[in-house]
Amino acid sequence: MGGIFVSHRVNVRILAAVSAVALWATACVKDNNTTAPVIAKDNTFVGYSDPATQQTTCGNCHVLKQETWAKTGHAKAWANLQASGHASASCDQCHTVSGLTNIAKDSSGYFTVAADAKKYYQDVQCESCHGPGAAHVAVPDETQPIPYLVSKDTTLNVGCGMCHSGPPHNPFYEDWSRGAHGGMVAHAVANTNCWPCHNGKTAEARFGGSNTYVEASNSNPMPIGCTTCHNPHGSDNTNELRESITVRDTTNLCIQCHKREPFPDPSNKYGPHYPAGMVFLGDAGWFPPGFTWDSTNIPTHSDPSVNKTLCATCHLGQINVNNGAGKLAWHYTGHSFWAIPCVDTAGIDSTNSCDVSQRDFSACTGSGCHASQDAARALFESIGQEMSYLTNTLWVDSNGNGKVDTTDGGLLAKVPPTEFAADTIITTAEGALWNVQLVTKDKSQGVHNPPFEKALLIATIEAVQQRYGVAAPPAVQALIAREGSRLGVRIAR
């Protein structure tokens, strides 16, 4: 600051330090003038230009951003803090524009200004993410505050995770970090064909995000981060999501990515690409001749009139984990995307590996669909057993080499190996193999679409028996006769 008071912004700080309140008061009494005192704002953060209408200084030029931001929860951050009845100084850094949750940690912004200027810095405004903007506002073309895409960068103090983490609230950042979206698949990093789903930056552009941010010029892929799914400037969807979570089709946020390779294709040597979303829709797999499935009329988990937020209902359930002594151990935000997370007295197991008895099934009861967690757990186990019974009837990969061998278990091992030849024809055996992989790689153990997955496997077993003259054990015959007629499964004879 050089000691010379060249700008009024420097004076602001001095005034604030001396005691702005006392100086203004003296001025008013002495001059008795009617012009309102000029409110001295911070010298780096510009904040609101009109707090009463929540007009940001930035938004005077970036008009569209102002319009959409004003509808976000960020514009209500201060009002909700006050309404909570628990507001204290410790809350302010995340509910205002300040240097504390921002680039180059300091106490500027909300914390430095005098009492009469504080209202200009309430709420999570543009500069809470973009950093101080006074220099850019002075010379808009040359000094633009540049947004960051990172979920959290502790060295720079930037990213959504600066506020959306740890106590006192909800550890969105921590939960996200340990879930699969916070990681990267090595194979997919190297191949740009994989980036639309495996690189957060490419996916974000696909969902209409801008390509203007610090890391845009960096060619390294990034994880599926906060701004891949959430638009920081607002959207027409709940929680500023870039795509809808309520539509039951491939434009659904989750299904946009969880839909790859649902149908057999002779040129694909890897099988289905974990297309959970397509299984959920009942629009996947090899259909034996004569088998039909009305994917629009399924009264279970994928019925949007019962389950409004579809994937999110199960995969983003929030849970208060108790430490056993009546205290909160962890508020799980759902952002690891685990449907039935492993809970213990310390919180949530970060590897998500545990016995089914330790898993939390509250996402199943919250919506009023299942009477209790235990009831849901029992159903989960029985559907899972039924699915593996049916898939094992078709194929047990005894030596674990991923290929059907005559020494393997199940009906497919009895089919002539020539039926699995690498050619352009999809045989019944290859279609059946695809369906086994589909249900297995869906990884929900049948939960995503119980009637569809069961019907598809039953039809497949029937088709394999009929085509190759092989027979499943009598117990399976009984099951497919009973369940097949209940579900209306038919194939061409």
**Separation of alpha carbons 27 and 23, rounded Å:** 6
d(CA 470, CA 409): 13
Among 40, 103, 113, 253, binds ligand HEC (CB under 6 A): 253
- Over the range 122-133, which residues count as b (16 or more CB within 10 Å of their CB) and which as e? bbbbbbbbbbbb
Nearest distance from C-beta of residue 298 to ligand HEC, angstroms = 12
Burial label, 33 (beta-carbon count in 10 A; 0-12, 13-18, 19+): exposed
Return the CA Rg of the chain. Answer: 29
Phi–psi pair at 455, nearest 5 degrees: -60, -40
The length of the chain, given as a count of residues = 493
Least gap, CB of 63 to ligand HEC (angstroms):
9
Among 196, 271, 366, 409, binds ligand HEC (CB under 6 A): 196
CB-based contact 361:200 (threshold 8 Å): no
Residue 145 sits in the site that holds ligand HEC (CB under 6 A): yes
Looking at residues 23 to 62 of the shown chain, list those that interact with ligand HEC (rule: CB under 6 A).
46, 56-62
Binding of ligand HEC at residue 268 (CB under 6 A)?
A: no
User: Which residue bears the tokens 């995307």?
Assistant: 337
Question: Taking CB under 6 A as the criterion, which residues in 350-409 touch ligand HEC?
Answer: none
449/440 Cα distance (integer angstroms): 13
Distance CA 383, CA 379 (A): 6
Our finding on whether 201 is near ligand HEC (CB under 6 A) is no
Question: Nearer Cβ to ligand HEC, position 312 or 439?
Answer: 312
Residue 162 contacts ligand HEC per CB under 6 A:
yes
Least distance in angstroms from the C-beta of 183 to ligand HEC: 4
Q: Which is nearer to ligand HEC, 161 or 484 (CB)?
A: 161
Of 15, 40, 114, 163, the one binding ligand HEC by CB under 6 A: 163
**Selected binder of ligand HEC within 15, 222, 257, 319 (CB under 6 A):** 257
Least separation in angstroms between residue 442's CB and ligand HEC is 7
Q: d(Cα 288, Cα 464) in Å, to the nearest integer?
A: 9
Q: Tokens 């039809």, residue? A: 459
Does residue 312 interact with ligand HEC by CB under 6 A? yes
203 or 429, CB closer to ligand HEC? 203
Q: What's the closest the beta carbon of residue 10 comes to ligand HEC, in angstroms?
A: 19
Binding track over 222-251 against ligand HEC, x by CB under 6 A: --xxxxxxx-xx----xxxx---x------
Provide CB contacts within 8 A for 470, sequence distance 6+. 411, 414, 415, 464
Instruction: Please list every residue from 202 through 221 that binds ligand HEC, using CB under 6 A.
Output: 203, 209-210, 212-213
Residue nearest to ligand HEC (CB): 133
Residue 422 has, within 13 A of its CA and on its CB side, a CA count of 6
**Nearer residue to ligand HEC within complex by CB, 259 or 454:** 259
Does residue 81 bind ligand HEC (CB under 6 A)? Answer: yes
Name the segment binding ligand HEC (CB under 6 A); options: 29-37, 304-312, 419-427, 454-462: 304-312
What separation in angstroms does the CA of 156 have from each of 112, 214, 257, 275?
Answer: 21, 12, 31, 37
